[in-house]
């Protein structure tokens, strides 16, 4: 059983765009697909993911799935 952490309570708050990026990444979309859905560049998606990982204290999308993110 996975331990689900509430990212918005236990960690610094994510911005709206970071949260959108994280939720799409949790759904299994790759950076290109996320960028197309959010109308941004892939570089922007990478920037958001890097910021998300830092705020949550994680290193990968696999670890991102342990968080119960809400917008």
pLDDT tens digit sequence for 9-57: 444 689 999 999 999 999 999 999 999 999 999 999 999 999 999 999 9
Rounded CA separation 12/56 (Å): 8
Max alpha carbon distance in the chain (Å)?
Answer: 36
More confident residue, 43 or 7: 43
Q: What is the pTM of this model?
A: 0.80
């Amino acid at each position: 059983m996975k331990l689900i952490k509430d990212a918005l309570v236990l960690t610094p708050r994510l911005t709206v765009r970071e949260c959108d990026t994280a939720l799409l990444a949790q759904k299994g979309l790759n950076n290109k697909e996320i960028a197309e859905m959010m109308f941004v560049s892939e570089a922007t998606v990478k920037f958001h993911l890097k910021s998300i990982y830092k705020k949550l204290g994680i290193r990968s999308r696999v670890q991102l799935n342990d968080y119960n993110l809400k917008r």
